[in-house]
C-alpha cells in the first residue's frame, strides 16, 4: 500500500507545481526519505503516510518525535550528498486515504515537521 500512496503523493505534488528530485532515497544507517521535491527555491522533504482507516491513528500521529529526528538526519545526509541543491528546507506530510472506489482522498500538510 505504501507504493500506491507514494505514487498518489507524487502526482499531488507535481500537480501543485513541485519538481520531484528524488524518491525512496536511502541512507543505509538511518532509513529512507519518501519524496524529495523542489517547491520554487525550497527543498521539500515529504513523508507519505497511507491509511485505510483510523485504527492506527491519523497519518500525522504516525510521525513520532523519533521519526522527526530520523527525517531531519536523513535530510541533512541528502543535502550533503547534493551540495548544489541549496535553498530553504521544509518538511511536509502527505496523507493518502484510499477509497473503496474512485480516487484516494489526500491531505498535504506543509511545514508540519
pLDDT in tens, 15-57: 999 999 999 999 877 799 999 999 999 999 999 998 877 677 7
Q: How does 68-85 read in b/e, with b if 16+ C-beta sit within 10 Å?
A: eebbeebbebbbeeeeee
- pTM recorded for the entire structure: 0.91
Question: Class for domain 2-109, per CATH?
Answer: alpha beta
Q: How many CA atoms lie within 13 A of 98 on its CB side?
A: 14
Tens of pLDDT, residue by residue over 46-100, are: 999 988 776 777 777 888 889 889 999 999 999 999 998 878 999 999 999 888 8
Residues sharing a CB contact under 8 Å with residue 46, sequence separation 6 or more, in sequence order: 9, 13, 34, 35, 36, 37, 91, 92, 93, 94
Neighbouring CB atoms inside 10 A of 62's CB total 15
| Residue 12 falls in which region: left (phi positive, over 0), alpha (psi -120 to 50) or beta | alpha
Amino acid at each position: 500500500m505504501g507504493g500506491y500512496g507514494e505514487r498518489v503523493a507524487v502526482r499531488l505534488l507535481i500537480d501543485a507545481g513541485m519538481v520531484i528530485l528524488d524518491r525512496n532515497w536511502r541512507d543505509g544507517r538511518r532509513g529512507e526519505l519518501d519524496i524529495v521535491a523542489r517547491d520554487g527555491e525550497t527543498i521539500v522533504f515529504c513523508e507519505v503516510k497511507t491509511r485505510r482507516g483510523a485504527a492506527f491513528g491519523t497519518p500525522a500521529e504516525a510521525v513520532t518525535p523519533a521519526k522527526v529526528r530520523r527525517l531531519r538526519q536523513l535530510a541533512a545526509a541528502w543535502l550533503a550528498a547534493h551540495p548544489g541543491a541549496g535553498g530553504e528546507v521544509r518538511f511536509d506530510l502527505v496523507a493518502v486515504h484510499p477509497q473503496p472506489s474512485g480516487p484516494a482522498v489526500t491531505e498535504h500538510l506543509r511545514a508540519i515537521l
